Structure 1
Amino acid sequence: MAKEVLVRQHQLDAIADEITQNRPEHERFRVPGYAGIVVDADNGRLNVYWKGPLPERVHNLAAQAPHGLKVDVRPARYSAAEVKTAQRKLLTNSSRRGDGLLPGGRPWTSLATSPTGDGLIIGYEPEKGLSRAQQDGESSEVAAATQKATGVAVTAMPKRRSQISARQDDYSPWWGGAGLRTPANSFCSSGFSVYFPSGAPGMLTAAHCGMDGQFFDRQGELIGEAILKRRDLDVTVIGVENGAVGGYYYDGPWSTDIGKHVIGWNTNYVGDYVCTSGAMSGVHCNNKVNSIEDDIVQDDGTHVGPVVFAQRTDLQDVSHSKGDSGGPVVTSPDGTYGFDMEARGIISVGRGEPTVCIPGETQRPDVMCFSTVGYIPMGTIMNTFGLTLATD
């Protein structure tokens, strides 16, 4: 990704933050009239979707955009608050074990709000053995029934449940992006170093990697025990018992010993470019955010949300692999992909047809890779658990 594109992204995200009053992804619906924002860093444009009269502060922000950037305000059919209300109607009768049903009885696999204020985008489990024409008919029926129940326009599409995507001898001070041996002796990745409200050191990873018991590095050295966890957010915070944490993460291939500095965290917008950096497959950049607040059902039946999704733009690369779960998602605030990077979330799931990764590019052979990564946004993590990101 060209430096100038990421510089524009950083500038456009800053304007978007002012428009959304610096609210994290899952709180932006509280801004009256706000419907969504799509960042077009390639063309230096911020597309803002709004229902109703535009507040003077937003009008002024649009008018005062820096030279070379443009804020384009477009009318929206629904506000984010209206779509959020509809989304909650579908969540109300859903447990966190995957038994959420859409009107008509089809199990849903994802519930997303349109970033342009056009309504809900729903994924559902299709009937098996249907032809393409029959699938189209089924999608129309699901959309119509759900629209009637929720009161907003619905786009429905068949979508399988998102699949959990689970360097190799880390040590204190512990960094993110390292290989973990979980309490169940499986392979996962560490996320970002944090501090608990008490000031004690901690490390993020995915809750599906383990919510109880001790975590070790891949060579068996104790890191600590799971302290805070929310399966519905897919986040576990490990209490570091053995040493300290550092404000760095591993960046490069799965075998790297090189790290980069974490300077802080920020929220996500549709159109942003991000990198993943898990211990199984290493770093993958040029992933473009296409959805910021999905509720999904993982392949073990657990409901998780909010989830941000980003899809690869380089067809010769992947977004991440199994085993990268819990690992860092970052972006370059100055566009150089240099030493200082910004945290955006931790890896949770993969989406898209899984394929075998390129031989030699993963820590293990025959690991499954994905074209789209789903990650838990930093704002949700930090605000839910009251954590402070380690940047030292």
Structure 2
Amino acid sequence: MATGIVLATAGTGTVQAASAPDPVKPWVTGSVEHTGPVPGGYASWKDLLLDQRKMVRAADRITAALGRSGDGYAGVVAAPESHELRVYWKGEVPARIDALVGSLRRDVAISVLPAPYSARELEREANRLIRENTGLITSVAPSQDGSGLTASTASLGTARSAVSGAAVPVTLEYGARPTPASRWDDSPPWWGGGAWGVGGTAFCTTGFAVTYQGATKLLSGRHCANVGQIANDPTGQVIGPVTHTNDPRDLLLIGTSSAGRVFNNPVGNVATEYSNAVIGTTGSVIGMFVCVSGAFSGTTCNNRVTAVNMTINVGYLLQGMVRLDQAAGTNAAGQGDSGAPVEVVNPSNTAQVYAAGSLSAIDGSATVACTGYVIGSRICSRRVYYSPWSNATTAFPGIAIIPG
């Protein structure tokens, strides 16, 4: 069994490439749905998602307004199960932030709570710990309540000694280590959620359609290919060249004709394929529920954001990452799903989604049975990591989502 965080790429021999002509693209839409009991006493998932959308928008307004007033900001948590947004702050909240929160309370219940450390203090210490302990500490996440850091390691005893002199409290987790993580016969304009690779040696998943520097492109995972390599679908059809990459955000861009839709069906049955329109982007806030649309796993929902602004070690450092945990403990994503769209369902129309980010890695210490293609030694996990939309705008200034 794998342990640790591994990039979610599927290797050679994992799948049998298709050879049939391109099928008619499934412009038919279907609902992308969360299932199971609805947290917080909501009457339906729609009601929860409507409140969640308000909370995320309020969180985005607050973080966008920080500027120099952000020295005391520690974090923000969406708590739909408690029907409130929680903002954590070290020291006195500046008057203009307090006024903004007051105005936002007309639409969202917001609690402002004290924090012992600011986000900037935690980020500085997190970066120091993971850089000075390469190979020992594999990921570091700041607590959004400002209480400290959570670091993962495969060697608790050694790690305890390494963090004993940290400037903030550090909680150690054992075992977490990130691993690099039809849909199968798409055609132009290319959509998110389809399988792609380079030379048939490894496979990943196409991400959201975007524009960058005046051209249409597809977003996906940096670890999947290098600039200049040619992306193909599993039948060998050329998608286009990799034109841009960004290592610390684990993102790349494929130059090609692309459109703002995402495959969201279970994999393996062309007759039941459907797709959904992308209508915008969303921030990533702890507590929110999202779906992942992998070419190998199919679409999984009920995935909850449990950490943001993480630095993880996959042999090199990835920054600004977000962690998801599958609420039911089943598969969130697996190998072959790298680059996959991470999306939030539009509560007003479940045939539409918002772009949240691009899948990057799976946690090999939290492996579960795979959904979708259960082939060979493919690994899947109930805990995964993704690069949020804010990473895309940092990596590629001026990038914009293509709506469907």
Q: TM-score, normalised by structure 1?
A: 0.84
1:265 to 281, 284, 287: 281
Structure 1, 267-276 or 57-66: larger mean CA deviation: 57-66
Name the structure 1 match of 2:333: 320
- State how far apart, in whole Å, the 2-side matches of 1:141 and 1:367 are: 35
Name the structure 2 match of 1:246: 259
How is 1:232-243 mapped onto 2 (pairs within 5 angstroms)? 232-240=248-256
Q: What do the CA deviations read for 1:205-241 (whole angstroms, capped 9, x no partner)?
A: 111111141110111100111110122221111112x
Identity in percent? 29
Name the structure 2 match of 1:190: 206
Name the structure 2 match of 1:144: 164
1:19 to 62, 68, 71: 62
The SS at the match of 1:32 is: helix
- State how far apart, in whole Å, the 2-side matches of 1:284 and 1:273 are: 11
Name the structure 1 match of 2:22: none
The SS at the match of 1:53 is: coil
1:230 to 213, 229, 246: 246
- Give the Å deviation of 1:368: 1.6
Q: What do the CA deviations read for 1:40-71 (whole angstroms, capped 9, x no partner)?
A: 01221111100111123333344445568421
Classify 1:266/1:117 alpha carbon distance in 2 versus 1 (closer, same or farther; 3 Å): same
Is residue 129 of structure 2 the alignment partner of residue 90 of structure 1? yes
Q: What do the CA deviations read for 1:98-129 (whole angstroms, capped 9, x no partner)?
A: xx527xxx721012111110122212231xxx
Classify 1:294/1:335 alpha carbon distance in 2 versus 1 (closer, same or farther; 3 Å): farther
How is 1:9-48 mapped onto 2 (pairs within 5 angstroms)? 9-21=52-64, 31-48=70-87
How is 1:71-86 mapped onto 2 (pairs within 5 angstroms)? 71-86=110-125
Kindly provide the amino acid, as one letter, of the partner of residue 146 in structure 2.
Answer: G
Classify 1:29/1:328 alpha carbon distance in 2 versus 1 (closer, same or farther; 3 Å): farther
Name the structure 2 match of 1:348: 360
Contact 1:254 1:363 in 2 (8 A): no
Is residue 397 of structure 2 the alignment partner of residue 368 of structure 1? no
- Give the Å deviation of 1:335: 5.7
The SS at the match of 1:46 is: strand
- State how far apart, in whole Å, the 2-side matches of 1:60 and 1:3 are: 30
How is 1:120-131 mapped onto 2 (pairs within 5 angstroms)? 120-126=149-155
- Give the Å deviation of 1:183: 4.2
How is 1:58-207 mapped onto 2 (pairs within 5 angstroms)? 58-66=97-105, 69-90=108-129, 94=131, 100-101=132-133, 107-126=136-155, 135=156, 138=158, 140-145=160-165, 147=166, 151-165=167-181, 167-183=183-199, 185-197=201-213, 199-207=214-222
Contact 1:261 1:391 in 2 (8 A): yes
- State how far apart, in whole Å, the 1-side matches of 2:68 and 2:290 are: 23
Contact 1:207 1:234 in 2 (8 A): yes
Classify 1:297/1:288 alpha carbon distance in 2 versus 1 (closer, same or farther; 3 Å): same
The SS at the match of 1:58 is: helix
Unaligned runs of 5+ in 1: 95-99, 127-134
How is 1:323-342 mapped onto 2 (pairs within 5 angstroms)? 323-334=336-347, 336=349, 338-342=350-354
Contact 1:311 1:371 in 2 (8 A): yes
The SS at the match of 1:86 is: helix
Contact 1:202 1:239 in 2 (8 A): yes
Kindly provide the amino acid, as one letter, of the partner of residue 50 in structure 1.
Answer: W
- Give the Å deviation of 1:304: 1.2
Contact 1:356 1:366 in 2 (8 A): no
- State how far apart, in whole Å, the 1-side matches of 2:262 and 2:199 are: 22
Name the structure 2 match of 1:390: 402
Classify 1:346/1:207 alpha carbon distance in 2 versus 1 (closer, same or farther; 3 Å): same
Contact 2:303 2:325 in 1 (8 A): yes
- State how far apart, in whole Å, the 1-side matches of 2:69 and 2:382 are: 32
Name the structure 2 match of 1:210: 225
Name the structure 2 match of 1:129: none
Name the structure 1 match of 2:322: 308
- State how far apart, in whole Å, the 1-side matches of 2:378 and 2:267 are: 13
Q: How many residues align?
A: 354
Contact 1:62 1:72 in 2 (8 A): no
- State how far apart, in whole Å, the 2-side matches of 1:335 and 1:364 are: 37
Contact 2:278 2:353 in 1 (8 A): yes
Kindly provide the amino acid, as one letter, of the partner of residue 41 in structure 1.
Answer: P
Name the structure 2 match of 1:357: 370
- Give the Å deviation of 1:381: 0.9
Q: What RMSD in Å do the two structures reach over aligned CA positions?
A: 2.2
Contact 2:360 2:387 in 1 (8 A): yes
Contact 2:86 2:111 in 1 (8 A): yes
- State how far apart, in whole Å, the 1-side matches of 2:354 and 2:151 are: 31
Name the structure 2 match of 1:284: 300
Name the structure 2 match of 1:55: 94
Q: TM-score, normalised by structure 2?
A: 0.82
Name the structure 1 match of 2:15: none
Kindly provide the amino acid, as one letter, of the partner of residue 56 in structure 2.
Answer: D
The SS at the match of 2:161 is: helix
- State how far apart, in whole Å, the 1-side matches of 2:204 and 2:105 are: 42
- State how far apart, in whole Å, the 1-side matches of 2:85 and 2:238 are: 46
- State how far apart, in whole Å, the 2-side matches of 1:363 and 1:155 are: 35
